[in-house]
Amino acid sequence: MIPISRASAGIARLIPRRLPKAGPNGAVTRSIRSQQRCCSFQHAQTLPRALRRSLNRPGDQYIQLRFKSDTPAPAIPATPIPPKSRSRILHYAYRGLVTLGLFVVVSGGLVVAFFIYDYTTYSDDPETFDIPVSEYALNPRRGGPKNLPIIDYFIDDDDSEGMRAQKHKPKLVVLGTGWGSVPMLKLLEPGDYHVTVVSPSNHFLFTPMLPSATVGTLEFRSLVEPVRNIVKKIRGHFIKALAVDVEFSEKLLEISSTGAAGKEQRFYLPYDKLVVGVGSITNPHGVNGLEHCHFLKDISDARLIRNQIIRNLEIACLPTTADEERRRLLSFVISGGGPTGVEFAAELYDMLNEDLCKFYPRILRNEISVHVIQSRSHILNTYDEALSKFAEDRFAHDNVDIQTNARVKEVQSDRIIYTQKAEDGTTLTKELPHGFCLWSTGVSQNEFCQTLAAKIEAQKNRHALETDTHLRLVGAPMGDVYVIGDASTVQNNVSDHVVSFLRTLAWEKGKDPENMKITYSDWRHVAKRVKSRFPQATDHLRRLDKLFEQYDKDKSGSLDFSELSELLRQIDSKLTSLPATAQRANQQGEYLARKFNKLAKAGPGLAMNEINEGDIDEAVYKAFEYKHLGSLAYIGNAAVFEMGGVNFGGGLLAVYLWRSIYFAQSVSLRTRCLLAMDWSKRALFGRDMMNY
Amino acid sequence: MIPISRASAGIARLIPRRLPKAGPNGAVTRSIRSQQRCCSFQHAQTLPRALRRSLNRPGDQYIQLRFKSDTPAPAIPATPIPPKSRSRILHYAYRGLVTLGLFVVVSGGLVVAFFIYDYTTYSDDPETFDIPVSEYALNPRRGGPKNLPIIDYFIDDDDSEGMRAQKHKPKLVVLGTGWGSVPMLKLLEPGDYHVTVVSPSNHFLFTPMLPSATVGTLEFRSLVEPVRNIVKKIRGHFIKALAVDVEFSEKLLEISSTGAAGKEQRFYLPYDKLVVGVGSITNPHGVNGLEHCHFLKDISDARLIRNQIIRNLEIACLPTTADEERRRLLSFVISGGGPTGVEFAAELYDMLNEDLCKFYPRILRNEISVHVIQSRSHILNTYDEALSKFAEDRFAHDNVDIQTNARVKEVQSDRIIYTQKAEDGTTLTKELPHGFCLWSTGVSQNEFCQTLAAKIEAQKNRHALETDTHLRLVGAPMGDVYVIGDASTVQNNVSDHVVSFLRTLAWEKGKDPENMKITYSDWRHVAKRVKSRFPQATDHLRRLDKLFEQYDKDKSGSLDFSELSELLRQIDSKLTSLPATAQRANQQGEYLARKFNKLAKAGPGLAMNEINEGDIDEAVYKAFEYKHLGSLAYIGNAAVFEMGGVNFGGGLLAVYLWRSIYFAQSVSLRTRCLLAMDWSKRALFGRDMMNY
């Protein structure tokens, strides 16, 4: 019996009953398809919806019983839904249920399959057997200028067949585990080199998304990939230690490691090729009081920042915290309006706007202020001006305060002092109380690079180690030491090489390069060589005829040596140094990996032809060319892009695009899964607001 | 047209064509079902599979055209697959594809739906408007014995309609955010009390799974739930601070909070009801050198442990680390064979066995040792002996070394010294080198509880604050202060209350309780009162007749006062104190929440009847009764259970059960999702092996 609680009394009662094939004609009003499904639809519109739905059960038939009543049943027209559409509805409802059922079954199957897979991932039996370890690995010889242990062999050199095969291959030592070294390690083919990675950090950090981790939008571990995962694939070795010096003549890298009791130990690592990808350190710009600031270089910085933010919020909630103190605690100052500073300000603002109000007293929301102090006239000043403007408008909408043309003088524990140029040219000294200060104002050279630069006379750049266009450290023995990433800068000294560009020509003509007359066809030849050696100059060598005409000042139809030098010097001046970005480091790393793979392939051929001197790099692989793929920045539920010459900014959809790009660039399947999980977590549960 | 690339030339070409209902008889060989699907099966085996599949498109019919050819079509026997089974295979293949397609469509739909939901979770417009804040909240009055600020009102008391309505309700102050307080807060009905939670920690930690977080099986954040999430639901307040003292007479709680510059501030919080759930601290057992040990009480401990383990592994890999030093670094010592110590040893062993070998030199695996030092004769000594044995066997199989009957004397930075009783009764002093030592040997009273105990004369237990069976602190004004969890112990003093049990009887009979004769029916009456007051005694009061007979020593048919006292004293001696477990704290918290909800409901009635003295708790709600639900422990890809009197242990399937139980008990949907994600992560990518 179906209860008809809300049906009008005295009108109709329906009793479901399995009927024989031929039911009583008056009761069974219509048969659906050829099957045995029938329903009475008289008075259907007076029945409650749940009941009407229940009428649809296949196999049930309903007969209608009339009872005497004071008010006779009103004459109601025939079924409101036409028969064909009804059967179609039933049909689609049925299909919908089937679809849902199948979905549940397949999902369930996948879950079961996952559990079975999970079951197989537990290793039950402890396997211990004798491991062959070389005596030299356990007791290394001593030597070198400082008579330190020299590590020729490692304890895991014989761990597998593949590692044993690599034991005596050329030693490739890689310093650092950042955006330069890790892409290189990922592209390197196993089997060609005996690879050792030395770094104080045992993880690769996906820095572009680090600001997101500071406020709990992403988890710390979603941005890092253990370096041992990566090193394992090329059967390499990893040493968690710090490089301190290089003996170029003996090809020894001096390393400092910290032992169990904090005791420092030094040793030498021999190399055949050394790749320096040690990155940079924060630039203090000579400002005092940076001990009161946070930095944002590594994942531990992000942890400290998150803790400090939550701590400030909690203290602001204490009943004994005075009003002014609360405002100070909730004043977040970011010194530096570059991508890091801007993205951090944006993430911080998002968190405060979206999650804070849910859990903290509302008064906090009103007393929070976020300030960005920028030394230039715009934030994101390396981007297109329209994008800077877009970001500034966005921040103005969000009440994020931007102080431009401002230079920080000093940071104190509770305030930051800065000078600002007014529009009339006067300089004012201002101060801002702060409860939190982030210092993100560019990079400078770290200690190891300073040591190297001091050793080599040819190194004159104060900010980074200079390399040639094959990324070889200028001044070091050729082909031994490479520098990539923030630690390096690629020389743009086209004009210095004018003699070398002319040498072949001069040799062909039997002339002294410096006294040659260069015709237009000679010039085309020289330009080709310039392009191949300095790929960055290609853009400036498009109109060869115009250049030739312009610099042929005496209109002699040929350039002399001084005219050519002047031409190349002009090109030099137009070449900017490459940006210190993850993108550049990544491209340099991948370039090196490809070159090393080629070198290894070419090795036997070179040995056969007894080629072991000269510019082997040049002979084997092209020079490094930087291709700018674009920039992007997150600016608080909006993002700006600069890609392939197109600049645009937008709201949430742009944020999804911003995420997709980084998702695709993320280092491994593991980090991609974790990123997806994190974004889902944020949507479902908000950001984490805990400190410990 | 369907291309027939691989069909034999000259044999057959098939052109799909929509045919009229009656097709040419020779071409259409067989009709499938009653629908308009037909295929030619002649030469079907010579057609490529893709084509054969495409033949199944409903509504298409195929006619066969023969062409002249040099070689006549060979006579091919009938289809090798019987037509019926072939059509069935095709049918199922088709159904399979449909299922898969539907699955993809539904999954895709869900993903899109999730993105749309995600889109709505971003708040774009900063909302700032005036927030009403009480003047008293900003400038609290001063008072109390120490003339400190007294916080009657909070800055968020007027944040919402609901909070405003609660502003003047009875003040319920809850100390701690552990297994006692949080289950209480979760069950408390909003609207009845003005709730304030005070704790130095702003998260609830799911302690039973903490050992899993130490080695990266689980993430830290999957085990913690922000307390503000929980407090928000009952419109309460949270203060991150430490309770230091209570003024019982003025109902003031003294609180110490740390301000921005690390400055301590003290203030009073008035209460009507105070719940003390502050937990316990690690018991040092008077051993020196615990600064060289790790503890495992909070999530920050887990972080330190994880960092230390990875650090040891990395140092062990350094080429300058000597063999002996490597063995020391890889010697992990756990002092304490209770559930925490055992589960940590198991998790550590799992990590070393399953993940270490993948990424670290194999020699490490051979030199690792895990030791458990236990003072009793078995590990897990609170469990059934069979389970202890099972766990010990498991550890023996895993090469985890167990030292029983051993007491730690001293912990040094590189070794642990302990004495061990040999079987012949002699005591030997032994030592173990260690690179890591965990101290998990029981709990003791924290400072706040010691302060309270010192203030109250009636408190005599050195280990915990004594409460009556209504969980009220003994010696404090009745109904003001409750203690739950590890900080408390419930008094089992049945015999002390013999007079109160007899009072009603004596009053009915107009006699002095101490001179009464208690008949068997009187005794049944008394026993009923004992059971209601001391629910734990119920088990020992099952056979009332036997007890009566046994203690009626003069066989007079009645008990006198001293006989009854003796009987109750015997019951006392059989009652054990409740275990200091999460389970007990949880039950106590839930009990208090239910009682407070009842008290709030009963409040108006009591006020009407002018009942404001006497044992209101007793009148409104039953006494607390602990129900042991069972114990479980993870022992390394195996688990042991003790539930409802059934003891069992098992391998991986038991581990899944162990996980399910904790999964179900986990504090929120959020933590459940995170747990599931973590377990999947472990299966897919292994444990995290990074430190920072």
For residue B460, give the CATH number of its domain.
Answer: 3.50.50.60
Residue-range definition of the domain harbouring residue B530 = 493-575
Alpha carbon distance A318, A212 (integer Å): 27
Distance CA A96, CA A99 (A): 5
Residues of chain A falling short of pLDDT 70: 1-84, 124-129, 607-613, 692
CB-CB neighbors (< 8 A) of B151 in chain A: 319-320
pLDDT in tens, B287-302: 999 999 999 999 999 9
Check residues A84 and B238 and name the one with the higher pLDDT: B238
Residues of B in contact with A257 (CB under 8 A): 315, 318, 320
> Do A461 and A433 belong to one domain?
no
> Using 50, 70 and 90 to split pLDDT, how confident is the model at B71?
very low
| A315–B260 C-beta distance less than 8 A | yes
Please state, in angstroms and rounded to a whole number, the distance separating the CA atoms of residues A302 and A663. Answer: 20
**Is residue B294 located within the same domain as residue B357?**
yes
Quote the pLDDT of residue A249.
Answer: 93
* CB nearest to B363's CB, from A131, A202, A656: A131
pLDDT digits (tens, 9 = 90+) for B575-614: 878 888 899 999 999 999 999 999 998 877 776 666 666 7
Overall domain count for chain A: 5
pTM: 0.81
Q: Give the C-alpha separation, B654 to B648, whole Å.
A: 9
- Could you tell me if A655 and A634 are in contact, meaning their C-beta atoms sit under 8 angstroms apart? yes
Which chain B residue shows the shortest CA-CA distance from A318?
Answer: B239
Nearest by CB to residue A226, choosing from B122, B258, B359, is B359
- Residue B345 falls inside a structural domain: yes
The two three-digit tokens of residue B621, written as one number:
């709600």
In a shared domain, residues A459 and A593: yes
Contact A219 B219 (CB under 8 A): yes
Does residue A226 fall inside a structural domain?
no
- Same domain? For B481 and B615 the reply is yes
Question: Does A196 share its domain with A264?
Answer: yes
Cα A590 vs. chain centroid, distance in angstroms?
16
Q: For B175-201, what is the mean pLDDT?
A: 95
> What is residue B357's predicted lDDT score, i.e. its pLDDT?
79
CA B490 to chain centroid: 23
B97 SS3 class: helix
Extended strands (E) in A571-638: 631-634
Average pLDDT (B214-227) is 88
Classify residue B253 by burial, with Cβ atoms within 10 Å: 0-12, 13-18, 19+.
buried
- CB distance A256 to A262 below 8 Å: no
Residue bearing the bigger pLDDT, B20 or A613: A613
DSSP single-letter state for residue B676? H
B442's torsion region: left (phi>0), alpha (psi -120 to 50) or beta?
A: left
Interchain contact, B154 vs A314, CB within 8 Å: no
SS3 A424: coil
Q: Are residues B25 and B154 in the same domain?
A: no
Query: Which range, A375-379, A537-541, B331-335, B526-530, has the best average confidence (pLDDT)?
Result: B331-335
Q: What are phi and psi of A22, to 5 degrees?
A: -100, 100
In a domain, residue B218? The reply is no
Give the C-alpha separation, B635 to B655, whole Å. 9
* Model pLDDT, residue A57: 47
B300 lies in the same domain as B436: yes
User: Which positions ≥6 away from A531 have C-beta within 8 Å?
Assistant: A537, A538, A541
Q: Does residue B6 lie in a domain region?
A: no
| Chain centroid offset of residue B453 CA | 30
Task: Find where tokens 């200690």 sit.
Answer: A447
Q: Contacts from B386-390 at CB under 8 Å and sequence distance 24+?
A: B386/B647, B386/B649, B387/B633, B387/B640, B387/B641, B387/B642, B387/B647, B387/B649, B390/B635, B390/B638, B390/B640, B390/B649
Per-residue pLDDT band at B409 (split at 50, 70, 90): very high
What value of ipTM does the predicted structure carry? Answer: 0.81
Distance separating alpha carbons of residues A193 and A165, to the nearest angstrom: 10
Locate the DSSP E strands across A426-551: 427-433, 436-439, 443-444, 465-467, 481-483, 488-490
Mean pLDDT taken over chain B: 83
Domain boundary at B80, B95, B122, which? B80
pLDDT band, residue B564 (cuts 50/70/90): confident
CATH of the domain at A638: 3.50.50.100
Q: What is the mean pLDDT of residues B378-392?
A: 88
- Give CA–CA dist B206/A242, Å, rounded: 38
Q: A478 with A413, same domain?
A: no
Q: Which of A114, A315, A692 sits opposite B299 (nearest CB)?
A: A692
pLDDT at position B439, please? 95
Nearest CA in chain B to A635: B124
**B593 and B462 together in one domain:** yes
Average confidence (pLDDT) over B628-648: 85
| pLDDT given at position A84 | 67
Residue after which a domain boundary falls, among B507, B541, B575: B575
Question: Lowest-pLDDT range, A81-95, A547-561, B370-384, B546-560?
Answer: A81-95
pLDDT classification of B95: cutoffs 50, 70, 90: confident
The answer to whether residues A597 and A665 belong to one domain is no
Asked if residue B33 belongs to a domain, the reply is yes
Contact A464, A488 (CB under 8 A): yes
In a domain, B231, yes or no: no
pLDDT in tens, B469-490: 999 999 999 889 999 999 999 9
Does any domain span residue B2?
no
Query: Do B361 and A652 lie within an 8 Å CB cutoff?
Result: no
Chosen for mutation from A323, A685, A687 (greatest number of chain B CBs closer than 10 Å) is: A685
Where does B468-515 show beta strands of DSSP type E?
A: 481-483, 488-490
Same domain, yes or no: B397 and B304: yes
A650: phi then psi, degrees, rounded to nearest 5: -165, 180
Of A508, A540, A575, the one marking the end of a domain is A575
Torsion of CA B190, B191, B192, B198, to 10 degrees: 60
Rounded-to-integer distance, Cα A204 and Cα A201, Å: 8
pLDDT at B12 over 80: no
Asked if residue A433 is part of any domain, the answer here is yes
How far is residue A87's CA from residue B129's CA, in Å, rounded to a whole number? 56
Question: What's the rounded Cα separation, in Å, for the pair A374 and B503?
Answer: 82
**Which of these ranges, A20-24, A237-241, B362-366, B512-516, has the smallest mean pLDDT?**
A20-24
CA distance A615 to A595: 13
Smallest CA–CA distance, residue A226 to chain B, in Å, is 6
Closest partner residue to A260 (CB to CB) among B329, B365, B397 is B329
Considering the domain architecture, whether residues A153 and A112 belong to the same structural domain is answered as no
Sign of CA dihedral B299, B303, B305, B309: positive
Residues of B in contact with A259 (CB under 8 A): 315, 318, 320-321, 325
Residue of A nearest to B361 (CA): A156
DSSP A462-483: SSSEEE-TT-BBTTSSTTTEEE
The residue ranking higher by pLDDT, B77 or A497, is A497
Coil/strand/helix, residue A421: strand
**What tokens were used for A440?**
């993100």
Nearest CA in chain A to B317: A239
Query: In a mutagenesis test of the A interface, which of B151, B155, B307, B356 is the best target, namely the one with the most A β-carbons within 10 Å?
Result: B155
